[in-house]
Structure 1
């Protein structure tokens, strides 16, 4: 199975003390998260850590390869750096730097949830922000804590026309994706929950 990528499994094993590490497919690779906070990325069987103060200091001493991907044929450098063979062979250092990456990602998320309005998230409009306020979801922090499914149920209780696309939009807003770019596994899981929740025919496509 694809989710048994050996680098994913090795990373989870060596970094287990950070917390429960989960992986999800993203942009052809895997994002590694702890409590839904992404701190690392696996691309082409290589682990990349999110930039942090400690990682930048380490990078200054031993230049690490940045993560680069192609966007519309143009190379784009991301704020992630490759774990090379020497770093893999130093588990204490790897764990220390990974913890620093996780803290940096957590701090950024905390700042983002305080300063951003709901309408500033992917897929959400001012109208949706107003609808969310009416069901008690008044901040990005509350939306993330409530989750896409429970938020959708609250909206559905007020408006029976709320459908699957809104569920995708809420999940994307929380995870930072356009709803059309959600990982296939996430879309399938949400679709199955939607069909089960509304007791719909799974053979019929619903919007």
Structure 2
């Protein structure tokens, strides 16, 4: 995984007022997120902000370059717009537009949570949706709030056959990844937690009279 990209670090520092900004590799660049909501991309060492009402008004005065990437050799234009040199030099305006991009992304994510069923998420089948319902996790919003580990523990409490694959599936469902496409660092962290949890459960069962 790429690390210490200077534009990633510059963006995190200059937009820190938005909250804890995290980055992950995507489309050959980086997605910037706050609480897992993507509001910006960094592509070829340039920052692009998600389209929003405030950015639309700003863009009407100063035409910003849209983000274009190639999919199967064909150019695809995304609703993200490049932060140019002039905007970088105006930290107050940049923060204002970035906050607007984040709000727009959050509003879209919230609306999707309302309409989505659990089985519509990556990796989740109707069977797993029904299992989650049985342990009190009846919505996408609730799954995201509880998180993959606690959700897995709830499932494991009623079905001891639930294993690592389900844990990875839950994490991917929450983060929007196919289970096989989870970043290696996340997979390793979950695997370590999974082994530790199994050992704790085994020790607890051994102590039972």
* 3-state SS of 2:39 partner: strand
Detail structure 1 runs of 4+ shifted over 6 Å in the superposition: none
Deviation at 1:65, TM superposition (A): 1.6
Deviation at 1:53, TM superposition (A): 0.9
Deviation at 1:3, TM superposition (A): 2.8
Q: What TM-score do the two structures reach when normalised by structure 2?
A: 0.89
Partner of 2:114: 114
Please list every run of 5 or more consecutive structure 1 residues that lacks an aligned counterpart in the other structure: 201-207
Given that 2:2 and 2:25 are in contact with CA atoms closer than 8 Å, whether structure 1 keeps it comes out as: no
CA distance in 2, matches of 1:27, 1:151: 29
Q: What TM-score do the two structures reach when normalised by structure 1?
A: 0.90
1:103 aligned onto 2:93: no
CA distance in 2, matches of 1:123, 1:74: 28
Size of the aligned set, in residue pairs, is 200
* 3-state SS of 1:160 partner: coil
Given that 1:31 and 1:40 are in contact with CA atoms closer than 8 Å, whether structure 2 keeps it comes out as: yes
Please list every run of 5 or more consecutive structure 2 residues that lacks an aligned counterpart in the other structure: 201-209
Pairwise CA RMSD of aligned residues? 1.7
Name which of structure 1's ranges 185-194 and 92-101 shifts more when overlaid on structure 2: 185-194
CA distance in 2, matches of 1:157, 1:2: 38
Larger gyration radius, structure 1 or structure 2:
2
CA distance in 2, matches of 1:27, 1:167: 25
Given that 1:26 and 1:183 are in contact with CA atoms closer than 8 Å, whether structure 2 keeps it comes out as: no
Partner of 1:187: 187
CA distance in 2, matches of 1:177, 1:116: 16
**Structure 1, residues 114-144: CA drift from partner, whole Å, max 9, x if none?**
1111111111111111010011100011001
